[in-house]
Amino acid sequence: MKRVPLPALVLLIGLLALCVLAAVFQNPTGTFLLDPDRLLNRVIWPLLRLSFFISIGLFAALVVEGAGWTNRLAILARPFMRWGHLSNQIGSAFTTSFFSGVSSLAMLASFHREGKMGKKEVILAVLLDTFPSYFLHLPTTFFIILPLVGKAGIIFLLVTLAAALLRFGTVLVYTRLTLPAQESTLTAERSGSKTWSALFPGSLKRLSTRLTRILLIVAPVYMIMLLISDLGFFDWIRTSVALGIGENLFPVEGISVVILSLLAEATSGYAAAGAMLQSGTLTIPQTVLALIAGQIIGAPLRALRHQLPYYMGIFSPGMGITLIAASQCFRILSLVVAAGLFLMIA
């Protein structure tokens, strides 16, 4: 097992200590660190839940790799991968990400550690995986937004779908122009397949070693995100950026749609948008833009709070930060372009 880099671990522990001191000095009685019930509900249970889902994703990735199913999964995405000069490893991770983002990331990290993929390929694979990740939560979002926002909600989903397709197409065109064509090496790998009785113990053993390494990074990063959130950092960014964007795109009332979708949850923003649309405060184009603004501001902040810990754990801390930054910048840019096209049409 590749050990956690000591400087990175020391840096994380140092940052965590500073955040703890800042939280205690700012509000000695209000911090969750000194309240057992809040500590249980905000730290222990969420970390256990996060560890559980990371374990499931890692185990699935290890089983796929150990059973020799990597190329079989790659066959499903073969036409696109072949056109884009992408490897079978990227194809298998791409297919897996339609079902589990964590499993896909774990596969990419494993390929990278084994020398089958370079850093550039991993970054391109993560950017490509922003397309299937769009569909993971689409059914739930669709049935929430349709009754609340109606036509504006449908347009909003179409704009975000256009952004996802734009990301997918951009990566494929870029890789086709810059990468050499890949030789087709897809085989059934029957000779390398293992029986379940041999595969299960081996996968569990590898899971325990990798999970330990991952949690050494995930736990302190998760705590740091909670503490700086309690210090008001994310609230300050949300309100500052939301006000700056809102004043230039739609009436001041529309800013509440953005802020509600950030401070509470996306459903609150959808409900506020629907109410303002029905009352005539916002037009359909303004409602769509308000929802897109909430997505542009909210997605990176949610990624920072919820995805950064396990990205830094599954990969190295530096690699995890690079991947989060690249994927979120790519997502924002695609949403801005899609929103601009919508404005031209509307």
**DSSP per residue over 229-273, as a string?**
HHTTHHHHHHHHHHHHHHHHHS-GGGHHHHHHHHHT-HHHHHHHH
Return the half-sphere exposure (C-beta side, CA atoms, 13 A cut-off) of residue 174.
13
pLDDT for residue 1: 43
Torsion 164-294-135-183 (CA) sign = positive
Task: Classify residue 276: in a domain, yes or no.
Answer: yes
**For residues 300 and 291, is the Cβ–Cβ distance under 8 A?**
no
pTM: 0.74
Task: Classify residue 9: in a domain, yes or no.
Answer: no
Q: What are phi and psi of 162, to 5 degrees?
A: -60, -40
Task: Give the residue ranges of DSSP H helices in the chain.
Answer: 6-26, 36-39, 45-66, 70-76, 78-83, 88-96, 101-113, 119-128, 130-136, 138-149, 151-178, 196-230, 233-249, 255-263, 266-279, 284-302, 308-314, 317-345
- Smallest CA-to-CA distance from 332 within 273, 245, 271, 255 is with 245
Name the residue range of residue 322's domain. Answer: 35-179+194-345
**For residues 127 and 330, is the Cβ–Cβ distance under 8 A?**
yes
**For residues 70 and 188, is the Cβ–Cβ distance under 8 A?**
no
Task: Classify residue 6: in a domain, yes or no.
Answer: no
The span from the CA of 112 to the CA of 118, in Å, is 6
pLDDT for residue 331: 94
Task: Classify residue 326: in a domain, yes or no.
Answer: yes
Task: Classify residue 264: in a domain, yes or no.
Answer: yes
Torsion 50-52-57-62 (CA) sign = positive
pLDDT for residue 325: 93
The span from the CA of 142 to the CA of 153, in Å, is 8
Number of independent structural domains in the chain? 1
Per-residue pLDDT of the chain (346 residues; tens, 9 = 90+): 445 555 555 666 676 677 666 666 666 555 666 667 777 777 788 878 877 877 887 777 777 666 656 556 657 678 888 899 998 889 888 988 887 888 889 889 989 988 889 999 999 999 999 998 888 778 778 877 888 788 888 999 999 999 999 999 999 999 999 988 876 555 444 444 555 566 666 677 777 777 777 777 777 777 777 777 777 766 666 566 555 555 555 555 555 555 555 555 566 677 667 767 776 777 888 888 888 888 887 778 778 877 888 898 888 888 999 999 999 999 999 999 999 999 888 7
Task: Classify residue 70: in a domain, yes or no.
Answer: yes
Task: Classify residue 1: in a domain, yes or no.
Answer: no
What is the three-class DSSP state of 221? helix
Task: Classify residue 30: in a domain, yes or no.
Answer: no
